[in-house]
Amino acid sequence: MTLIKMLLSQQKSKTKKVKLMTSQTPSLSFEVFPPNPAVGNEKILLALDDMKGSAPHFISVTASNNKYNIKETTVPLADHIQNDLAIPTIAHLPAIYLSKEKVADTLRELDAVGVNRILALRGDIIPGVEPLKDFRYATDLIEFIKAEAPNFDIIGACYPEGHPDSPNQISDIQNLKKKVDAGCSSLVTQLFFDNERFYDFQDKCTLAGIDVPIYAGIMPILNRNQALRLLKTCENIHLPRKFRAILDKYEHDPESLRAAGLAYAVDQIVDLVTQDVAGVHLYTMNNAETARHIYEATHSLFKHHSQVGAL
Ligand code: FAD
- Looking at residue 230, its pLDDT comes to 84
Ligand 1, closest atom to CA 33? Answer: 28
Q: How far apart are CA 184 and CA 203, in angstroms?
A: 18
From the CB of 204, is ligand 1 less than 6 Å away?
no
- Looking at residue 127, its pLDDT comes to 92
Choose which residue among 67, 77, 163 to substitute to test ligand 1 binding: the one with the highest number of ligand atoms within 8 A of its C-beta.
163
Length of the chain: 311
Cα 96 to ligand 1 centre (Å): 10
- Looking at residue 15, its pLDDT comes to 38
DSSP per residue, 57-123 = S-EEE---SSSS-GGGTHHHHHHIIIIIS---EEEEEE-TT--HHHHHHHHHHHHHTT--EEEEE--
Q: Are 306 and 86 in contact (CB under 8 A)?
A: no
Which of 27, 31, 28, 29 is closest to 60 using CA atoms? 31
**3-class DSSP state of 214:** strand
- Looking at residue 234, its pLDDT comes to 79
From the CB of 160, is ligand 1 less than 6 Å away?
no
Q: How far apart are CA 120 and CA 117, in angstroms?
A: 9
- Looking at residue 310, its pLDDT comes to 45
- Looking at residue 311, its pLDDT comes to 56
Cα 44 to ligand 1 centre (Å): 26
Query: Which pTM was predicted?
Result: 0.92
Q: Are 56 and 91 in contact (CB under 8 A)?
A: no
Domain boundaries, the chain: 3-11+18-301
- Looking at residue 171, its pLDDT comes to 97
**Class of CATH domain 3-11+18-301:** alpha beta
- Looking at residue 229, its pLDDT comes to 87
From the CB of 179, is ligand 1 less than 6 Å away?
yes
- Looking at residue 231, its pLDDT comes to 80
- Looking at residue 5, its pLDDT comes to 52
From the CB of 123, is ligand 1 less than 6 Å away?
yes
Task: List the pLDDT tens digit at each of the 311 positions of the chain.
Answer: 454 454 445 544 443 333 333 446 899 999 999 999 888 899 999 999 999 999 999 999 999 998 889 999 999 999 999 999 999 999 999 999 999 999 999 999 999 999 999 999 999 999 999 999 999 999 999 999 999 999 999 999 999 999 999 999 999 999 999 999 999 999 999 999 999 999 999 999 999 999 999 999 999 999 989 988 888 887 889 999 999 999 999 999 999 999 999 999 999 999 999 999 999 999 999 999 999 999 999 999 987 544 434 45
Ligand 1, closest atom to CA 171? Answer: 11
User: What angle, 0 to 180 degrees and rounded to 10, lies between the N-to-C axes of helices 195-207 and 254-274?
Assistant: 30
* Residue identifier of the C-alpha nearest atom 30 of ligand 1: 62
From the CB of 262, is ligand 1 less than 6 Å away?
no
- Looking at residue 16, its pLDDT comes to 39
Q: How far apart are CA 243 and CA 248, in angstroms?
A: 9
